[in-house]
Amino acid sequence: MTFEPTGRLGIVAGGGTLPRRLVNVCRAAGIEHFVLALEGATDPATVEDAPHAWCRMGALATGFRLLHDHGVTDLVLAGGVRRPSLLELRPDWRAAKFLARVGYRALGDDGLLSAFIKELEQEGFRVIGADQLLEAAMPEGPLGSLAPDEDAAKDIAHGLRIAQALGALDIGQAVVVQQGLVLGVEAIEGTDALLRRCAELRRDGPGGVLVKIEKPGQERRVDLPTIGRRTVTLAAEAALRGIAAQAGATLLLDREEVVRAADAAGLFVVGIRVA
């Protein structure tokens, strides 16, 4: 763990299991923490037995007050949040001020998150990445017993070129390529939905590969590409040959289970270096 707390750690919790992992890390390491749970996003299991409060996403003034009142100095943003429309967000005065300044609709996901992190820093918080709390960086090279063959390596190279272009447009992080065909590209639906869709689109012959990388210039403290057991399960159901994820920039959750599941399904999982 590279994180040295300066005061209480605030965990702004989106969906999925990552926020709870951070709570567990804090408990094990004796780090004082407080979870800000987001209505409609956070799994209630995340905050069970943990010091926490619930807050609406659009209620930025309330959120800031809750964090300050609980002595939070450092912040980690973890877990996915379905980006709402302005109407769904119902911004309070503080959120409206922020959004008017940055221009909500002009920004892609990454642009908006970067702007939001700057806002948090101006409010006095130090923002850290979940990877500073978890020992979970994707290593370079094959993880399990399988490695991509020459054919799969070509699909990985093709997918990488496309993922970099998509990332530069702040559209998505993932792409599925089979024998040179782009079966699908990720936008707002996320990698799980992309993989489910590609199960229907696959061609006969050697299966495709999922390539997942961070967006170029991505704010590394939020929304890192993540690979976990479910990624392997869905990739196997889509009859893929393997998964290639950016080494160093991908959160690899439950490494041992990922390796076991990939080996059992006959998939490779490989960390690739991105220039």
- Chain residues binding its own copies by CB under 8 A are 83-88, 104-108, 154, 158, 161-162, 165-166, 169, 171-172, 178-185, 187-189, 193, 197, 200-201, 203-206
d(CA 135, CA 176): 27
Contact (Cβ atoms closer than 8 angstroms) between residue 243 and residue 176? no
Report the nearest approach of its own copies to the CB of residue 174 (Å): 12
Report the nearest approach of its own copies to the CB of residue 62 (Å): 21
Nearer to its own copies, 208 or 271 (CB): 208
- Rg of the chain (C-alpha set): 19
Contact (Cβ atoms closer than 8 angstroms) between residue 214 and residue 174? no
Hunting for tokens 């490494």 — which residue is that? 255
Nearer to its own copies, 83 or 126 (CB): 83
Hunting for tokens 């079966």 — which residue is that? 183
Report the nearest approach of its own copies to the CB of residue 89 (Å): 9
Nearer to its own copies, 75 or 183 (CB): 183
**What 3-state DSSP class applies to 232?**
helix
Nearer to its own copies, 45 or 165 (CB): 165
Report the nearest approach of its own copies to the CB of residue 26 (Å): 33
Report the nearest approach of its own copies to the CB of residue 55 (Å): 19
Query: Exposed (0-12), middle (13-18) or buried (19+): which is 48, by Cβ within 10 Å?
Result: exposed
Nearer to its own copies, 31 or 199 (CB): 199
Report the nearest approach of its own copies to the CB of residue 199 (Å): 12
Nearer to its own copies, 77 or 183 (CB): 183
Of 98, 129, 144, 124, the C-alpha closest to 236 is 144
Report the nearest approach of its own copies to the CB of residue 145 (Å): 26
User: For residue 20, how far is the Cα from the chain centroid?
Assistant: 14
Angle at Cα 170 formed by Cα 165 and Cα 176, nearest 5°?
Answer: 55
Tokens of 212: 């997942």
Q: Strands (DSSP E) along 44-109, which ranges?
A: 52-55, 72-78
Q: Strands (DSSP E) along the chain, which ranges?
A: 8-13, 33-38, 52-55, 72-78, 126-128, 141-142, 174-178, 181-185, 209-212, 226-227, 242-246, 251-252, 268-272
d(CA 269, CA 257): 12
Nearer to its own copies, 28 or 87 (CB): 87
